[in-house]
Amino acid sequence: MTANATQRHLVVLTGAGISVDSGIRSYRGADGLWEGHRLEEVATPEAWARDPATVWRFYQERRGALAGIEPNAAHRALAEAERRVARGGGSFTLVSQNVDDLHQRAGNDVLAMHGQLLELLCEVCGAVAVDREHLDPHAFVPCGACGFDRLRPNVVWFGELPHHLDAIERAIVRCTDFVAIGTSGVVYPAAGMLAAARELGRRTWVQSLDAPENLDPADRFRPGRAAEVVPGLIDEVLGGRSKGVG
Ligand code: ZN
């Protein structure tokens, strides 16, 4: 290889596993119930229409919890990776399934395919506003643009289409490396992205605590906790911190 080691085109997909080390509770584990509700019972448009007070309380708890958590070493490694790749003339696309704002706080631009907890969406006029202040679990927030009395969290619910799919597809087509971090590997369409990158012949890297269900012999699998593994993984993907062409 004569190209600079960092002149690579990366797509990094992150899931819940990268935020676990920051203390974000997973709602999908064995104890993944909230007040006896399955996630599927509170994260749907139907639930919002039927019982908005309960859905709102669920999301207000999650929105409020963001103030007490911080990005971890894995988030910071990805922010540094974005800067390194940019310096090397490559491209870096971070796609996240997470609705927390830890990547943004670490310094990355993010394609938040499942939306963001800190954003509120008006279903009447389409306005989206960042809101960190209205966290009362029992009070709806009105729309500042049109006055509608009940904004919803700007997150993608079951049955709704993820955001940024076209941009994500374009990034995968042009990437040299696809890196999946902390994803269960079973939630589509994210799970299909890894398969698409493989079919295109890209180098594929998978980091998670345990081998995901869709792991392939071609994947370079790096098990462990994201905060411990990701900094070294990024060095590996980018060809080593000290091996510059000079
Ligand atoms: Zn509105």
* Ligand 1 center–CA 212 separation, angstroms: 41
Catalytic residue among 9, 75, 103, 114: 114
Question: Does residue 32 sit within a domain?
Answer: no
Domain containing 170 — which CATH number? 3.40.50.1220
Kindly tell me if the per-residue pLDDT of 32 is higher than 70. Answer: no
Q: Give mean pLDDT, residues 211-232.
A: 94
Structural domain boundaries enclosing 93: 9-24+72-114+162-239
Residue 163 CA: distances (Å) to CA of 20, 73, 105, 139, 157: 23, 26, 20, 27, 11
User: Which residue has better confidence, 213 or 73?
Assistant: 73
pLDDT level of residue 57 (50, 70, 90 thresholds)? very high
Say yes or no: 133 and 217 in one domain. Answer: no
Check residue 244 and give its pLDDT.
41
Give me the mean pLDDT over the 67-72 stretch: 94
Q: How far is the CA of 110 from the centre of ligand 1 (A)?
A: 25
Provide the pLDDT for residue 194: 94
- Check if 163 is active-site: no
Q: Ligand 1 centre from 9 Cα, in Å?
A: 39
**Whether residue 180 sits in one domain with residue 106:** yes
- Report the domain count for the chain: 2
My answer on whether 16 and 98 are in the same domain is yes
In a domain, 33, yes or no: no
By mean pLDDT, which of 36-45, 76-85, 103-112 is the weakest?
A: 36-45
Q: Which of 31, 8, 1, 28 is nearest to 16 (CA)?
A: 28
In a domain, 147, yes or no: yes
